[in-house]
């Protein structure tokens, strides 16, 4: 059911992009929107992990440099019958982590220095199990594609503003000169909001699923519960730098960058209190 909902949401994002092109330039714009959607999907499939890692400042680490991280990852990957991901450390004091990559064979997991310092073994295990669950469920690909499409829709909406100024885009027919009309106005206002809400729906439902799957992988939810409590407390006090809106949805908790407005309403993550409550209600049979 979750896979169906996610496919429906991604289809909705693609349709928004196509309809945006139609609103700006008629049938030619619709074709351009479809080509752009396909191109963005392909780009996100092959390169989103590299962009996420580079933008976060993550550095690859060896077993000798991060023996504790390697030990936890190897144990849980073997337990979950998953390939060993590439491991990275992010030079940030705020505790956080994310997974990225197009599939389990091409996955990477990055943890901040703050996470490694502040988490005990059970809490670190809970966080890593959560990230491995994202890898297993291909969430890392889905959220990357959603973020890329949402960014493209926002870009189309900005083009619509120029359409309003210059009275539309090419074409001689009435159908092909709607860029400065009502359709462009609607696209300029509604499309970015709709894209953001669709992206939020994808990210939020997958955080709940990764929490539950991670707890089942470990065999109990208490380490992850304690980790989420710590993550919430420390991320309200320690801001993270070099975190773009596109990659923030990948982290286990929403990174705080300071000066955030309406963070709860437009957060790509469910409230931590709700996630913790859901974990407390879990029953795991061994």
Model pLDDT for residues 17-40, shown as the tens digit of each residue: 666 666 655 666 667 666 766 776
Please pick, among 64, 74, 125, 131, the residue that the annotation labels catalytic. Answer: 131
For position 21, what pLDDT does the model report?
62
CA atoms within 13 A on the CB side of 89: 16
Residues 6 or more apart whose Cβ sits within 8 Å of residue 198? 9, 12, 13, 16, 146, 150
For position 11, what pLDDT does the model report?
66
**The two three-digit tokens of residue 88, written as one number:** 């990275």
pLDDT higher than threshold 50 for residue 170: no
131 carries an active-site annotation: yes
End-to-end Cα separation, the chain, in angstroms: 25
pLDDT higher than threshold 70 for residue 133: yes
For position 156, what pLDDT does the model report?
64
pLDDT higher than threshold 90 for residue 64: yes
For position 7, what pLDDT does the model report?
58
| Ranges 61-65, 90-94, 146-150, 237-241: which has the least confidence | 146-150
Asked if 207 and 199 touch (Cβ cutoff 8 Å), the reply is: no
| Averaged pLDDT for residues 119-139 | 94
Q: What gap in Å lies between CA 45 and CA 263, rounded to an integer? A: 28
Which H or E run contains 207? helix 182-218
| Averaged pLDDT for residues 249-271 | 69
Asked if 245 and 142 touch (Cβ cutoff 8 Å), the reply is: no
| Ranges 7-16, 50-59, 85-94, 136-145: which has the least confidence | 7-16
For position 172, what pLDDT does the model report?
45
**What are the start-end ranges of the E strands in the chain?**
59-60, 86-90, 97-101, 107-112
Tell me the pLDDT tens digit for each residue of 65-111: 999 999 999 999 999 999 999 999 999 999 999 998 888 999 999 99
**The two three-digit tokens of residue 101, written as one number:** 């990559």
For position 66, what pLDDT does the model report?
97
What pTM was computed for the model?
Answer: 0.75
Beta strands across the sheet bearing 59-60: 59-60, 86-90, 107-112, 97-101
Of 194, 188, 195, 154, nearest in space to 24 by CA: 188
For position 171, what pLDDT does the model report?
45
For position 81, what pLDDT does the model report?
95
For position 242, what pLDDT does the model report?
74
| Averaged pLDDT for residues 184-204 | 65
């Amino acid at each position: 059911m979750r896979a169906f909902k996610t496919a429906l949401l991604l289809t909705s994002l693609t349709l928004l992009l196509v309809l945006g092109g139609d609103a700006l330039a008629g049938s030619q714009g619709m074709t351009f929107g479809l080509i752009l959607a396909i191109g963005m999907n392909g780009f996100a499939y092959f390169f989103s992990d590299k962009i996420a890692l580079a933008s976060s400042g993550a550095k690859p680490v060896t077993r000798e440099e991060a023996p504790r991280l390697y030990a936890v990852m190897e144990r849980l990957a073997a337990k979950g019958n998953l390939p060993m991901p590439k491991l990275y450390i992010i030079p940030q004091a705020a505790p956080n982590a994310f997974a990225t990559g197009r599939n389990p064979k091409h996955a990477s997991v990055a943890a901040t220095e703050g996470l490694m310092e502040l988490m005990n073994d059970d809490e670190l295990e809970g966080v890593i199990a959560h990230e491995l669950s994202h890898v297993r469920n291909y969430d890392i690909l889905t959220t990357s594609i959603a973020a890329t499409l949402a960014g493209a829709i926002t870009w189309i909406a900005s083009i619509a503003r120029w359409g309003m100024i210059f009275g539309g885009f090419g074409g001689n027919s009435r159908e092909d000169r709607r860029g400065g009309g009502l359709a462009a106005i609607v696209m300029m206002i509604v499309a970015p909001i709709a894209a953001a809400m669709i992206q939020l729906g994808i990210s939020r439902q997958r955080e709940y699923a990764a929490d539950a799957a991670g707890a089942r992988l470990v065999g109990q939810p208490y380490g992850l519960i304690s980790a989420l409590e710590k993550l919430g407390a420390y991320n309200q006090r320690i801001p993270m730098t070099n975190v773009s809106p596109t990659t923030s949805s990948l982290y286990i908790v929403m990174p705080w960058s300071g000066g955030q407005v309406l963070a709860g309403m437009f957060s790509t993550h469910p409230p931590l209190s709700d996630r913790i409550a859901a974990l407390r209600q879990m029953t795991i049979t061994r």
